[in-house]
């Protein structure tokens, strides 16, 4: 049974969910999904502490066990996202090239959109080829704020 808890962040309320051994989801919401037990576990406390450090500008990489659930293709994309340095941005084509399929820009965008652990898996660092901010599950304003935070620190 998954356990989750709602936390206040500088971006608003988020729900963190874990499966007993790893963080599985980060949702921009204050409502736990159906079937998730409202329990603040040591792992969720560690995750929110690392997020607080990230928002304070003192953490550049997360040191948490996490386990996003998705297809093999999505897993490849999410792994490539983790290699984007703090404060950097790349295009969907850059990620497609990184996973060895340069024609998969649209599919990369779809996988990015399905990232279940945003911020921790930094999908906000992917922008359009022309430098525009495109698509983000939490909304473009949150994406803009995350990128601005990383540029400041």
Q: Which residues are catalytic?
A: 123
Helix (H), strand (E) at residue 6: strand 3-9
Say if strands 3-9 and 12-18 run parallel, antiparallel, or are unpaired.
antiparallel
Helix (H), strand (E) at residue 106: helix 105-113
Contact 132, 114 (CB under 8 A): no
CB atoms within 10 A of CB 75: 14
Using a 10 angstrom Cβ sphere, with 0-12 exposed, 13-18 middle and 19 or more buried, the burial of residue 70 is middle
């Amino acid at each position: 049974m998954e356990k989750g808890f709602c936390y206040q962040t500088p971006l608003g309320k988020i729900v963190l969910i874990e499966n007993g051994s790893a963080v599985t989801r980060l949702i921009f919401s204050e409502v736990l999904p159906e079937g998730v037990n409202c329990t603040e576990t040591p792992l969720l406390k560690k995750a929110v502490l690392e997020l607080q450090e990230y928002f304070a500008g003192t953490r550049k990489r997360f040191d948490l066990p996490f386990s996003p659930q998705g297809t093999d293709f999505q897993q490849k994309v999410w792994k490539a996202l983790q290699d984007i340095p703090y404060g950097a941005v790349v295009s969907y084509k850059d990620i497609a090239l990184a996973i060895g399929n340069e024609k998969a820009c649209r599919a990369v965008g779809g996988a990015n959109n399905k990232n279940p652990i945003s911020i921790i898996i930094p999908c906000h660092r992917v922008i359009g080829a022309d430098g525009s901010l495109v698509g983000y599950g939490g909304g473009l304003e949150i994406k803009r704020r995350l990128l601005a935070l990383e540029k400041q620190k």
